[in-house]
Amino acid sequence: MSRPAGLGLALVALVAAPACFDFQGLIDDCTRSRGTDGGLCGTPDDGGAAGGGSGGGTGGGSAGPIAAYCDAGAATLRLDGGGTAFCFNGFLWASPTPQGNELNTVWGSAPNDVWAAGYGSMLMHFDGVEWTSWQGAIPGSGALRTLDVVAGLSPTNVLVAAVTGLYAFDGSRWSKVGAYGVVRGVATTPAAGGRIAVVTENGCTVLDAGHSGPAPTRPFPGYKDVAFDSSGEAAVLDWSAFDCAVYTCSGVRLGGSSIDAGGCGPMWWTPDGFQFAANGVVTRIDGGEVVTGLPPLNHNASAFDDGTGWLVGGTELRELPLGTFTQVDYPSTLSLSQELEGVWASPDGGSWVVGYSGLLVRQASDGTWAQQSGGANVELFGASVDEGDVVVGRDDLFWRLGSDPQSDPAGSAVRDVWRSPTGVYWMVNEGGRLFTPDGGGPGDVGGELHGLWGTSDTDLFVVGDDGVGHWDGGTVSWVPEVPADAGTFWKVHGRDGWLWAVGDSATLAERDPAGQWRLVHREASGSIYSGVWLEDGDAGTGWVVAGNTPIRVSAHGTLTPTAGLGTGNAGFFDVWGFDPNDVWAVGSDGLIAHSTNGSSFVAVESGTRTFLERVRGRELGGGWRELLIVGQSGTILRYRYQR
């Protein structure tokens, strides 16, 4: 690949784009279509093509402004004023847009034909104007799947490496290639009529442009990267026993020495041969050091045959003129930088960088860079949907959606928000403060606070490291019946004059309408009860969540665990419901579950691996309901449905 004339070597700056969050501006502009761009409102069918589904529109009801929604079949929704937001299984990415899954890789055949892929089986395409979603187009790829590499030879010959195999795009649909099992890497070159290097769990092979070739040989247990030289010969970078070395696909070691390092990669071709990064050092395969003193830029590189291009890792973007590695300044978002994971050096200008939180950064024709989208590295912990939408999070963040956010970089993480009947928003933070956005409230009241609930501005309950406290409008008094040595309390919820608080050691405390507290349940070595929803105070029914298990509570103290949900270490953080037959729980790795029978939960595919911290909902009228789910990286999901 030759270097474009527009790729400058001067120091350039990435310029932060205007706010990427257009909560109020989502519109009903989703159309049924099929085509090579994936089509708007199209979800891939089991054959990997896009199509089907109808769009969403602005909601109704009297509960304040409602942003757009997605029908279960929608994939991409156009935003008012430009841009898109992605949908998956009915869940809309209201923030960030178009989506917030981590992106690992990006490749294109031209500035108007770019593919990016990453966590949550995210696969997306840019046509030069807007991004459209192809999430789920890889058959058998669930939300917890990660697509690590995308590469190609042309707009009609694009490949993706996945744990379920190798997949190719022919211009209209994705289909599986061969039976390679887990595919760890793929690289392409136009040399020799087009060649494709594929690294699987069983070894490496080189295919022709028609995807034909021998079976993989010689496994590389420490595989890090694969690349082609200018003549079309493939090489594999392998890290085994702290030894970074380069091999041919058949296992012949290239170069006379290697580097002893705690990790290595990526690798790229230059006129002086292959080079790779390891522990802040760029090394040739003959052992010669090209440059030292770099940060551990171990994520991705994209270079032309003359050795120029881009190298990314951590929060840094480096330009690759031979031996120079000029640093390119990268802007922070909401005071925090984002990890860069993938880069594509476009031969026609318009290179792209992708990373955490759906980050998309594009190079303009004049050589400057600008962030196109991506969430902030700020965690959202709480939400209120009583009158309009409010979310809270780190740095004392208070955000009434549709207005400018309020935050204090010196502040703590706001863990919860509750709106009183008079319209006052009350918040608690990890600094031990109970306060309102205008500075009202008592301020510091003790150790870290994690949750609150109340009935009025002079009747609030807070929970945290010091147990359960009550605000009467003058002071906060700690409830002696729930001693501080009971451990940290995380959530509190009330109804019908009753109150439940949950926390460490499987603790559930209950307050009756007469104001008497009692410990309903506690186990010295029990799990953390991280969420609670009191369904019926008089009957003593509701739900708590612990780890990956929803627990049904009945008769003011009978606890019945249900079947565990989630994959791996995924666990629940919150539970909330409309009624006994419509209860939702959310948690880590994008975990969402729904109960429609009052006794068990079923996992719901969310299309993300983002940690989801809080779920709240509201009635819209006519049987319609809406959920607002918030979490890490500024994530806000909306889901509208009819009961």
- For residue 604, tell me if it sits in a domain: yes
> Dihedral angle at the C-alpha atoms of 137, 140, 146, 151, nearest 10 degrees?
-50
**Most confidently modeled range among 34-43, 263-272, 282-291:** 263-272
* Number of folded domains that form the chain: 1
Q: What is the structure's pLDDT at 55?
A: 37
Confidence of residue 140 (pLDDT cuts 50, 70, 90): low
Structure tokens at 482: 């729930």
Q: What is the residue range of 575's domain?
A: 380-642
- For residue 356, tell me if it sits in a domain: no
- For residue 239, tell me if it sits in a domain: no
Please, are residues 68 and 76 in contact by the beta-carbon 8 Å criterion? no
Whole-number Å distance between alpha carbons of 333 and 60: 33
Q: Which residues contact 316 (CB under 8 A, 6 or more apart)?
A: 295, 297, 327, 328, 330, 340
Look at residue 14 and tell me whether its pLDDT is greater than 70.
no
Express each pLDDT in 502-559 by its tens digit: 999 999 999 999 999 999 999 988 899 999 999 999 999 999 999 999 999 999 999 9
- For residue 166, tell me if it sits in a domain: no
Q: What is the structure's pLDDT at 57?
A: 36
What secondary structure letter does DSSP report for 72? T
Q: What is the structure's pLDDT at 275?
A: 86
> In this structure, are strands 369-373 and 14-15 parallel, antiparallel, or unpaired?
parallel
- For residue 522, tell me if it sits in a domain: yes
For the segment 383-399, the average pLDDT, to the nearest whole number, is 88
For the segment 8-14, the average pLDDT, to the nearest whole number, is 25
Look at residue 65 and tell me whether its pLDDT is greater than 70.
no
Q: How much is the mean pLDDT over the chain?
A: 82
CATH code, 577: 2.130.10.10
Confidence of residue 386 (pLDDT cuts 50, 70, 90): confident
Structure tokens at 215: 């079976």
Whole-number Å distance between alpha carbons of 270 and 454: 65
Among 516, 506, 534, residue whose Cα is nearest residue 480: 516
Q: Could you tell me the pTM of the whole model?
A: 0.86
Extract the runs of DSSP E, i.e. beta strands, from 547-610.
Answer: 549-554, 558-561, 572-579, 582-587, 592-595, 602-603
Peptide bond into 513 cis (omega under 30): no
Whole-number Å distance between alpha carbons of 125 and 557: 52
Find the range with the poorest average confidence among 55-69, 275-289, 322-336: 55-69
For the segment 170-174, the average pLDDT, to the nearest whole number, is 94
Q: What percent of the chain has pLDDT over 90?
A: 53
Please, are residues 473 and 422 in contact by the beta-carbon 8 Å criterion? no
**Half-sphere exposure of 162 toward its Cβ, with a 13 Å CA cutoff?**
32
Whole-number Å distance between alpha carbons of 395 and 200: 44
- For residue 317, tell me if it sits in a domain: no
For the segment 297-308, the average pLDDT, to the nearest whole number, is 77
- For residue 603, tell me if it sits in a domain: yes
At residue 378, what is the residue type?
Answer: V
Among 566, 546, 545, residue whose Cα is nearest residue 143: 566
Confidence of residue 325 (pLDDT cuts 50, 70, 90): very low
Find the range with the poorest average confidence among 287-301, 397-411, 476-490, 614-628: 287-301
